[in-house]
Amino acid sequence: MPELLDVCRHVRSKNAGPFWITVDLFFKDAGCYARHVDSPALQPEAVARLFGIDPSAVKRFPVPALDVLKLSFPRKVPQGGFLERDMHGGQQYVRLLSVKL
Amino acid sequence: MNSPPTINILVPTGALGAGIRAEDVDAGLAAGAHAIACDAGSTDSGPAYLAQARCKYSRAAIKADLSILMRAQARSKLPLLIGSCGTSGCDEALEWTRDIALEIAAEHGLAPRIAVLYSEQPPTQMQRAAQQGTIHPLPPLTTVDPLAFAQCDHIVALMGPEPYVAALEAGADIVLGGRTTDTAVLAAVPLMRGMGEGAAWHAGKIAECGGLCATSPREGGVMVRVASDFFDVVPLRPTNRCTPYTVSAHMLYENSDPFLLTEPGGVLDVSQARYEALDERTVRVTGSRFIRKTYTMKLEGAAASAFQTLMLVGIQDPKPLADLPRFLSRMHQALTARVDETLGAAAGSYDISLRPYGWNAVSGIEEDFVPREIGLLFVATAQTQELATQIAKTCNPLFFHMPLHREAELPSYAFPFSPAEIERGAVYEFRLNHVIEVDEPCALVRTAFIDLREKAHA
């Protein structure tokens, strides 16, 4: 079973405003996109488990024109509180890299 | 065949203060710009900039960029629009930017008519609006708590293009705006000059980060040419390129939804947009739609809460590194017990957070590898700065000497600083994620004019 890192050329995460994180998975090509975009590991339930959030809040946007899957979900606490570890949300994608597809 | 008319907006940078090159601006002017516009703010760097009303960039960086733009404005006589001045766009940050502009004008003998658009809102007034039901929550929030508005240090309402249009129609050469949506400041002139709403708003979104929609994001800004039913985007610098891929992919950036973008007066829908290469460097975008909705302004609010004091220690000692979960849990227990037995109830409600950089400080999730070295950050959060510091000083000996096992010899870890504790100041929080309904787009906006032309002639 490949890991996400094997089938994407680039993965990134960032704040989408102070209350949301958005993750963009850029698959290597149309073939990788088609094979893996619907993988159970990239469904709201699995993503929610990984980030400790409510699955109903995870938004999933396949963008076939770009071979991209976008995942957006609320932050557990808004950006910048006293336990903030990643102000810009720029490192949140890393825990996705090793998910098995 | 004649090309359809376009209104061309020179976008010199994604953020005023991040760096502008005069040659890029000159290239845009030579290529037929009708206005210069850019954004100067964001919530992206966190709540402190709004709560403290301070700019994220240095004064010198803002002045250098603004000076290039104001001199280009004076030469070209084109309107210059800058949104979200001073990072947060609150009144104090806006006036800080205005004063830099006045200083530049005096130093270079410029005499523009400057409009200053204020969009900060008094917390008590927003509390009343919340009580009256004109404020609505945005997901993931589900409620409107009027007290949350009253407790903010600063609240700003995000302006649309209308106050910019009104200021230009009233004769402004330069418009310095408080908090504004990134897109609106770029869409204002095309909308004022009758270009298509879908094209204008989509062009604004694509160009809001300057060169980020091009192949070399750091190589200068872009020009958008907005028509009635399409727009073109091309980098200012001849060596840089926009491709259908780089332009369409920009809709992903910092948006939770890649197809729909809510703006003050409606929603931009790019789900049917087509991106085609006009030449090697230019992309034409068609099919963008703007669907008008009830006019709302998004509210951002931030406030100070607790205070923090930090300590940092370097650890290379292989013994604790070999069993970090146990070491960190033992240390946290020991620190908390020590604070409780010395400060007791006087410590108030406090928190101690241990973050081992080099192991799992970023994710907080347990890792199964042994690092060679960590930087262990100690964060004490308490109700006052003095209490946070007293907690840190109480913890200092244990933090410095804590062994993995009780019976082991006392290690001494590597403090890089003396004194060991660093007072970090307040913790700031974003408190609002709401919109307010307004009767008309300028209802919550105050505009002031500073006419240096009149002063120059007086």
Count other Cβ atoms within 10 Å, centred on residue B294: 10
Q: What is the pLDDT of residue B311?
A: 98
Rounded CA gap, B375 and B367, in Å? 16
Rounded CA gap, A2 and B418, in Å? 49
Q: What is the pLDDT of residue B455?
A: 73
Task: Determine the residue type at B210.
Answer: G
Q: Are B46 and A80 an interchain contact pair (Cβ–Cβ within 8 Å)? A: yes
Rounded CA gap, A52 and A33, in Å? 26
Residue A7 has pLDDT above 60, yes or no: yes
B266 φψ region: left (φ > 0), alpha (ψ -120 to 50), beta (else): left
Kindly report the length of chain B: 458
Helix axes B59-76, B91-108, angle to 10 degrees: 60
Q: A15 contacts in B (CB within 8 Å)?
A: 43-44, 254
DSSP H or E segment with residue B128: helix B123-132
Is the distance from CB of A99 to CB of A50 less than 8 angstroms? yes
Q: Where are the alpha helices (DSSP H) in B290-430?
A: 318-322, 324-342, 385-401
Rounded CA gap, B87 and B439, in Å? 27
Regions of chain B short of the pLDDT cut 50:
none
Following CA atoms A1, A29, B240, B65 in sequence, which dihedral angle do they give, to the nearest 10 degrees?
-50
Q: What is the mean pLDDT of residues A68-74?
A: 98
Distance from CA of A4 to the nearest CA of B (A): 18
Q: Which regions of B238-336 does DSSP assign to beta strands (E)? A: 260-263, 266-269, 274-277, 283-286, 289-292, 296-315
Q: What is the pTM assigned to this prediction?
A: 0.96
Q: What is the pLDDT of residue B407?
A: 83
Interface of B with A (CB under 8 A): 43-48, 138-141, 245, 248-249, 252-259, 300, 302, 305-306, 308, 351, 353, 355, 361-365, 379, 381, 427-430, 433
ipTM metric:
0.96
Is the distance from CB of B331 to CB of B398 less than 8 angstroms? yes
pLDDT digits (tens, 9 = 90+) for B340-392: 999 999 999 999 999 999 999 999 999 999 999 999 999 999 999 999 999 99
Q: What is the pLDDT of residue B1?
A: 54
Say which residues have a Cβ less than 8 Å from residue B333's Cβ, sequence separation at least 6: none
